Structure 1
Amino acid sequence: MDDLSISSEELTKNIADHVPLLLFDLRLRDDFEESHVEGSVHAVCDTDAKEKIMPNIPKDTKIVLISEPDDFSKEIAEMMVSFGLDAHYLQGGFSSWSGKTVKGRTGKTISPDALYENLDDVFLLDVRNADEFSEYKIPGSVNIPLNAIFDTKTLEQIPKDKEIVTICPHGNRAMVANFALEQAGISSKTLEGGLAGWNQVLKPVTVVDGPTKVIQVQKIGKGCLSYIVVSNGDAIVIDPLYPFEKYSDVAKEHGFKITRVFDTHQHADHVSAARNLAKHANAKLYFSKYEGYEVDANFVGDDDEISFGNATLKIIHTPGHTPGSLSYLVDDKFVFTGDILFVESIGRPDLRDQAEEFAEKLYATLHDKLLSLSEQCLVFPTHHGEGVLDTDGAFYSTIEKSKKLPWLDLAKQEFINKVVAITVPRPMNYRKIIAINKGEVPLNITEIPDLEIGPNRCAVDSS
C-alpha cells in the first residue's frame, strides 16, 4: 500500500490553499476539546461510521485522520482506502502538528437546548437513512440521506432563507453533511450530540396552578413525562429524568423545596434519575415494594398514604405493565399513572416476557382501580406517543376521556387476546436500562444519551 501519511507542513499548505478536506480527529473528546487542529471535527470510528458514513463519502474527497500517536489513524486510513476512499493520516500524530490549534468543540454546532428555543427559525435536515428516519425523528425535520447530500440536484430542496441544522444519531454523519453543504456554498450547523443529545432536553410546563401545583417536565425528544407536585412549598417529584439538575433549578426558580422523590415502576425506555435527584436534593426516595429493587429506599405499596404540604398522596398498586407498577393519587384530583394509562393508549404488558399474565392484570388494574376513579380526575402519564396532541403545551387527560380509549369496552378475554397479539418493537437497550434502574448494574452517566436514543415504545398500538 502507498504511503498514506501527510506531514504537518503539507497539511498546513492544503488548508492554506483551501483544498477540500475532511479532517477527522479520532482522539478522545476531552483531548479534542482541550486542543485540536483548526477546522477538524471530533469523530468516532464505530460500526455506524463504517456502515453509514464511509460508503457515502465521494471517492475524490480528501480525508485526513488525526490521532495520538499516529498508529490508530494509520490503521483507520488503511481501512478507508480499502473502501476506495482518498484517506491519509497526520504523520507523527497530533503532537507533530505545528499549525494553528483551537480549544472547545467544533465551531459550527448548535446545542440541543438552543435548537429547541429556535425550532421555528431553522431547517432541520436529517441525514440518516430513510428506514432510520421512519423510526423516530424531530418533528418538522426533513430527511435527505447522506449519500444524496453530495448530489447538487438534491441541494435544491434546501431553503436559502433559513439556518440549516444537520441531524444524525451522534453528529458524525451530520458533520460530513456539513462538509458537503459547505462545498456547495451552503452554511450549516450540526446538532451537538445528535439525536442522542436531543433526547436529553427537558422542558417544564405548569399544568395546574392552584393550592396544589402540578408541573410537567417533558423530555421532548423522547416523549417521556415527569412531574413536580407542590403543596405549601413542599414538593414531590414523580418519575424524574436526566439531567436531574433541572428539577432543582425549577425548585429554586419557584421557591419550593423537593422533599420526596418517587418512581412509578422500573422503566424500560429511559434511565431513572430518582436516586441521584433524591441524593442531590437531600430528599426521601420511594420505590415500589413489589419490584425487587436492589437499592436503599423507602418501599411502599397499595393503600399507603404520604402527606406533603397540605396534600395527601395515596398509593395504588396497578400491575400490568410491570408486576409492581404504582399509580399515585393526589387528593382524589390527580392520578399519576406511570406506563399503565396514557393519553392515547394503555401500557404494553410484554416487556417482562409474561404478556398473557400481565395482560390479565392490566385489565383488572384499568377496570377495577383506575377507571373507577372520579371522571374529573386528571390523568398524568409518564409518556406520550409521537403525534399525540398536547393540551396547552402539556400531555394529560381525564378518567372520563380515558374510558373511551380503544379496547377498554371489550370483554376481559377479548381484551387479553388483542393486547397479547400486538407485536411492537421493544425500546432500544431496554434490558440494560431495566437492570440499571433496578440497581443490578452500576450507571455510567455518560452512557445515558446513547442508552436512551430512540422512541419510548411503552404503549400498546391499538390503531
Structure 2
Amino acid sequence: MNANQESKKLAVTAEELYADLKSEKPLLVFDLRLKEHYIHEHIEGSVHAVCDSRAKETIMPRIPKGVKIVLIDEDGTISAETAGMMASYGLDSYFLKDGIKGWNKGLIKKETHSTISPEELWSKIKKKENVILVDVRQAEEFSDFKIPGSINIPLSELFKKENVNKIPRNKQIITICPHGNRSMVAAFALARNGIDALSLTGGLAGWGQVLNSQVVSREESIVVQVEKIGKGCLSYIVGSKGQAIAIDPVYPAEKYVEFARNEGLQIVKVIDTHQHADHVSAARELAKITNSELYMSKYEQYDFESNRVGEGDIVIVGDSKIRVIHTPGHTTGSLSYVLNEKYVFSGDILFVEGIGRPDLRNNANEFANDLYDTLHKKFLTLPNEVIVLPAHHGEQSSSKNGIYYTTIKEAKNLSILKLLHDGFIEKVASTTLPKPMNYEKIIQINRLSQPVPVLEIANLEIGPNRCAISTS
C-alpha cells in the first residue's frame, strides 16, 4: 500500500467526526492550526494543540492506544502527515478530510474557556474556593514535587471510566502538568465526560513564577516577605522613611516595584545573601529598572559591577540599619543581614525547620565545618527574641499567619543544632540529597555578566528548591 492509500485510510469525513463528537466514546480532537485561527473559529469540542518535539515526548507516549484522535488543519495536508506519524507510534489517529474547509456543521466563533492562569489559580486557593487540583503527570514525577493539596491521576488513567467517576462533577477541576500540554489534553478528556475542567496555563513552570507578598511588620521598619509560591523561595522588602531595600529578589522583578509601592516605598538598594543555585536572581534586573544601588558579597566571584559588602559593614535604608555578617556554610561567601538587631535575614543558612546544605559546591566536609561555626558562633549567639527570616521554606514547612519565620530561641531546639561538632559534621557531610534541577547553569547565570535569559527562567527553575537539610 502506497503512502497516498495509507493516508486515505486515516481520513474521516465531517459527518463521521460530527457523529463521534455527539457520542460518548473516548475521543481527542486536536486543532493544529495557528492559535489565532483557532481563536477566530473552531469546531466545538476541539482543543488547540502544537505538535512539536515536546508534545511527541510528553503527550503521545501517555495517550492510551484505544482513544481515537482526530487532527484538524486548514486543508488536511499537515494533519494527514501528522496522523500518519502518530499512527506509526501505535496511536489510533486520524485527520479531518479537507481540514476545516471541509467542515459543514458550524463553527464556534470564540475561544472556549479551557485554561486558567497561575495567578488566577493562586487567587482561588487564597480565597479557599472549592477547586480540585488533578496532576496528570506520572506517579514518579508527582512524588518529586507538586502543588500542595493536588491529587495524582496520570493522563493515561484519565481515560478509564473508573478513574473519571472518582472525580466530583460539582467542583471546579484544574488539571496540571509540567508545561500545560498534558493538562490541556486531560481537561479536554474530562470535559468529554461532563466534568468542568480547566488546564493550568504554563503548567508547573508557570506556577513557579507566581509571587505573593505578606507584611511581616510595620513597626520600626516595614518588612514585607515575598514568596515564590511554586518554588518556596522567600525574599524581602525592607523599608523606612519611604526608601526600601530588596533582599534576594526573584523574577518577575517588576513585582517588587508594585509590592514596595503598596507600602509607600521606593526601592533604592538591592542585595543578595549569596550566589543562588536553585533560582535565577533578579537582583541585577531589579537594580536596573529601579536605578538602585546593587550590593553583593565580597567573598564570592561575580563578573558584573556591584558594591561589595562583608563582615561588619552597615547598609542604611531610611532610619533602618542593616548589619552584615559573613555566614559561610552553604556557600563560602554567604552573608546574612541583621536589621535593627531585631530580625536576621538568614539566606540559605538557617530555615524554619532545617539548615542549609553544604554540598552544592562539591566540598561538603569543609563547608559543613563552616556551617557549624556559622550556626553556633553567628546565629545562636544572637538574642533569643531575634526573628529569623530565611530565603526558602520547604513543602512541609508551616507558616504563621501566612509568614514563614522562626526565632533564635526556637532554632536552638532543632535537633541538628544540639549535636556536638563531630556528630554534626558527620551527619551533615554524609547526607545525600538530590541536587536542584539545572543548578550548575543557574549558578553560572547568577555569576556571569551576560544578559539573563528571561524566557528560559520558568523552565530552568521548575522543581523543588532542595536547599535544606532536614533536622530529623
Task: Verify same fold: TM over 0.5.
Answer: yes
Per-residue CA deviation, residues 250-276 of structure 1 (Å, 9 max, x unaligned), is 122222110001111111111111111
Specify the alignment match of 2:118 in structure 1.
112
Specify the alignment match of 2:396 in structure 1.
387
Matched, 1:358 2:372: no
Contact in 2 for aligned 1:65/1:87 (Cα 8 Å): no
Quote the Cα distance in structure 2 between the aligned partners of 1:67 and 1:356: 62
Specify the alignment match of 1:206 in structure 2.
215
Structure 2's unaligned 5+ residue stretches are: none
Amino acid of the residue matched to residue 207 of structure 1?
V
Quote the Cα distance in structure 1 between the aligned partners of 2:232 and 2:38: 31
Contact in 1 for aligned 2:58/2:182 (Cα 8 Å): no
Q: 1:62 aligns with which of 56, 60, 69?
A: 69
Specify the alignment match of 2:178 in structure 1.
169
Pair 1:214–1:449, CA change in 2 (3 A): same
Q: 1:266 aligns with which of 262, 275, 295?
A: 275
Specify the alignment match of 2:466 in structure 1.
457
Specify the alignment match of 1:79 in structure 2.
85
Amino acid of the residue matched to residue 318 of structure 1?
T
Q: Report how far residue 352 of structure 1 moved.
A: 0.7
Quote the Cα distance in structure 2 between the aligned partners of 1:67 and 1:298: 57
Specify the alignment match of 2:49 in structure 1.
42
Per-residue CA deviation, residues 132-161 of structure 1 (Å, 9 max, x unaligned), is 111111111111111211111112211122
Q: Find the residue that maps to 1:351 and give its secondary structure.
A: coil
Contact in 2 for aligned 1:5/1:88 (Cα 8 Å): no
Q: 2:411 aligns with which of 397, 402, 422?
A: 402
Pair 1:9–1:378, CA change in 2 (3 A): same
Contact in 1 for aligned 2:235/2:391 (Cα 8 Å): yes
Quote the Cα distance in structure 2 between the aligned partners of 1:32 and 1:420: 57
Contact in 2 for aligned 1:196/1:452 (Cα 8 Å): yes
Q: 1:375 aligns with which of 373, 381, 384?
A: 384
Name which of structure 1's ranges 51-60 and 392-401 shifts more when overlaid on structure 2: 51-60
RMSD between aligned residues: 2.9
Pair 1:93–1:126, CA change in 2 (3 A): same
Contact in 1 for aligned 2:132/2:172 (Cα 8 Å): yes
Pair 1:183–1:235, CA change in 2 (3 A): same
Pair 1:376–1:44, CA change in 2 (3 A): farther
Percent identical across equivalent pairs? 47
Pair 1:44–1:136, CA change in 2 (3 A): farther
Q: Find the residue that maps to 2:470 and give its secondary structure.
A: coil
Q: Report how far residue 462 of structure 1 moved.
A: 3.3
Q: Find the residue that maps to 2:213 and give its secondary structure.
A: strand
Q: Report how far residue 26 of structure 1 moved.
A: 7.6
Name which of structure 1's ranges 403-412 and 219-228 shifts more when overlaid on structure 2: 403-412
Output the TM-score relative to the length of structure 1. 0.91
Per-residue CA deviation, residues 393-430 of structure 1 (Å, 9 max, x unaligned), is 10001111111112212221221111011111111111
Pair 1:431–1:37, CA change in 2 (3 A): farther
Amino acid of the residue matched to residue 112 of structure 1?
P
Q: 2:21 aligns with which of 18, 21, 28?
A: 18
Q: Report how far residue 296 of structure 1 moved.
A: 1.9
Name which of structure 1's ranges 231-240 and 2-11 shifts more when overlaid on structure 2: 2-11
Amino acid of the residue matched to residue 314 of structure 1?
R
Quote the Cα distance in structure 1 between the aligned partners of 2:85 and 2:7: 11
Contact in 1 for aligned 2:116/2:201 (Cα 8 Å): yes
Q: Find the residue that maps to 1:449 and give its secondary structure.
A: helix
Per-residue CA deviation, residues 368-400 of structure 1 (Å, 9 max, x unaligned), is 111111111110000001111101110001111
Pair 1:330–1:23, CA change in 2 (3 A): same
Q: Report how far residue 128 of structure 1 moved.
A: 1.1
Q: Report how far residue 162 of structure 1 moved.
A: 0.8
Amino acid of the residue matched to residue 279 of structure 1?
K
Contact in 2 for aligned 1:32/1:42 (Cα 8 Å): no
Name which of structure 1's ranges 341-350 and 441-450 shifts more when overlaid on structure 2: 441-450
Contact in 2 for aligned 1:167/1:194 (Cα 8 Å): yes
Q: Find the residue that maps to 1:350 and give its secondary structure.
A: coil
Q: Report how far residue 444 of structure 1 moved.
A: 1.8
Specify the alignment match of 1:254 in structure 2.
263
Q: 1:184 aligns with which of 180, 193, 197?
A: 193
Q: Report how far residue 81 of structure 1 moved.
A: 1.0
Pair 1:96–1:424, CA change in 2 (3 A): farther
Q: Report how far residue 32 of structure 1 moved.
A: 7.2
Pair 1:158–1:289, CA change in 2 (3 A): same
Instruction: Tell me how many residue pairs correspond in the alignment.
Output: 459
Specify the alignment match of 1:313 in structure 2.
322
Contact in 1 for aligned 2:223/2:237 (Cα 8 Å): yes
Amino acid of the residue matched to residue 63 of structure 2?
N
Quote the Cα distance in structure 2 between the aligned partners of 1:454 and 1:129: 15
Quote the Cα distance in structure 1 between the aligned partners of 2:421 and 2:385: 25
Q: Find the residue that maps to 2:224 and give its secondary structure.
A: strand
Q: Report how far residue 184 of structure 1 moved.
A: 1.6
Contact in 2 for aligned 1:4/1:87 (Cα 8 Å): no
Pair 1:355–1:91, CA change in 2 (3 A): farther
Output the TM-score relative to the length of structure 2. 0.89
Contact in 1 for aligned 2:11/2:94 (Cα 8 Å): no
Per-residue CA deviation, residues 179-234 of structure 1 (Å, 9 max, x unaligned), is 22122221211111111111111110001121201100011111110001111111
Quote the Cα distance in structure 1 between the aligned partners of 2:99 and 2:203: 27
Quote the Cα distance in structure 1 between the aligned partners of 2:410 and 2:30: 55
Amino acid of the residue matched to residue 220 of structure 1?
I
Quote the Cα distance in structure 2 between the aligned partners of 1:69 and 1:17: 18
Q: Report how far residue 278 of structure 1 moved.
A: 0.9
Quote the Cα distance in structure 1 between the aligned partners of 2:252 and 2:345: 21
Contact in 2 for aligned 1:70/1:89 (Cα 8 Å): no
Specify the alignment match of 1:238 in structure 2.
247
Quote the Cα distance in structure 2 between the aligned partners of 1:410 and 1:311: 36
Quote the Cα distance in structure 2 between the aligned partners of 1:412 and 1:75: 66
